[in-house]
Structure 1
Amino acid sequence: MTDKTWAEVDDYFTGALLAPDPVLDAALADSAAAGLPRIAVAPNQGKLLNLLARQSGARSILEIGTLGGYSTIWLARALPAGGKLVTCEYEPRHAEVARANLARAGFGEDVVEIKVGAALATLSTLTGPFDFIFVDADKSNLANYVRASLELARPGTTIVVDNVVRQGRVLDAASTDPDVLGVREMVEVLTAEPRLDATAVQTVGAKGHDGFVLALVR
Structure 2
Amino acid sequence: MFPPREKLLDLILRDSLLANDLRPMQIDDDAARVLQLLTTLHRPQRVVEIGTFIGYSAIHIARGLPPGGRLVSLEADAGLANLARDNLKTAGVADSVEVVTGPAAAYLTELAQETLDMVFIDADKVSYSAYLKLCFPLLRQGGLLVADDALPDGDFSSESPGDGGAGAVRAINAYNRATARSPLLLSAFIGTGNGLMVSCKHGDQLGDT
Q: Which residue of 1 aligns with 2:188?
A: 199
Distance 1:140 1:104 in 2: 32
1:93 is matched with which residue?
79
Name the structure 2 match of 1:217: 201
The question of whether the paired residues in 1 share the 8 Å contact of 2:150 and 2:176 is answered with no
What is the CA distance between 1:198 and its match in structure 2? 1.4
Residue 185 of structure 1 and its aligned partner are, at CA, apart by 2.2
Q: How does 1:165-184 map to 2 (within 5 A)?
A: 165-167=151-153, 177-184=166-173
CA gap of 1:184–1:42, structure 2 versus 1, over 3 A, is closer
Q: What is the TM-score normalised by the length of structure 2?
A: 0.83
Alpha carbons 1:30, 1:97 under 8 Å: kept: no
The one of the two structures with greater contact order (alpha-carbon pairs below 8 A, sep at least 6) is 1
CA contact (8 A) 2:180 2:188 kept: no
Letter in 2 for 1:123: L
Q: Which runs of 5+ in 2 are unaligned?
A: 156-163, 203-209
Q: Secondary structure of 1:122's partner? A: helix
* Superposed displacement of residue 69, structure 1: 0.3
SS at match of 1:146: helix
Percent identical: 31
Aligned residues: 192
Equivalent in the alignment of 1:36: 22
**CA pair 200-168 structure 1, distance change in 2 beyond 3 A:** farther
3-state DSSP class of the match of 1:156? strand
Kindly provide the amino acid, as one letter, of the partner of residue 2 in structure 2.
T
* Deviation at residue 214 of structure 1 after TM alignment: 1.0
**Is 1:60–1:79's contact at 8 Å kept on the other side of the alignment?**
no
Deviations 1:55-93 (A, max 9, x none): 112122111110000110000011122110011111111
Q: What is the 5 A alignment of 1:106-125?
A: 106-108=92-94, 110-125=95-110
Match of 1:14 in 2: 2
Moved more, 66-75 or 51-60: 51-60
Shift of residue 176, structure 1, vs aligned partner: 7.0
Q: CA deviation at 1:113?
A: 0.8
Counterpart residue number, 2:159: none
Deviates more, 1:184-193 or 1:129-138: 184-193
Distance in 2 (CA, whole Å) between partners of 1:83 and 1:44 is 23
Aligned to 2:116, the other structure's residue is in SS state: coil
In the alignment, the residues of structure 2 paired with residue 76 and residue 176 of structure 1 have an alpha-carbon distance, to the nearest angstrom, of 32
Structure 1: any 5+ residue segments left out of the alignment? 1-12, 170-174, 205-209
SS of the aligned residue for 1:155 comes to strand
Q: Distance in 1 between matches of 2:191 and 2:168?
A: 17
- C-alpha distance in 1, partners of 2:132/2:141? 15
Amino acid corresponding to residue 14 of structure 1 in structure 2: F
Secondary structure of 1:94's aligned partner: helix
Tell me the CA shift for residue 192 of structure 1: 5.7
Residue 36 (structure 1) shift: 2.6
- The equivalent residue for 2:45 is 59
Change (3 A) 1:176 1:43: closer
In the alignment, is the contact (CA less than 8 A) between 2:176 and 2:197 conserved in 1?
no
Give the distance between the partners of 2:177 and 2:31, measured in 1 at CA: 25
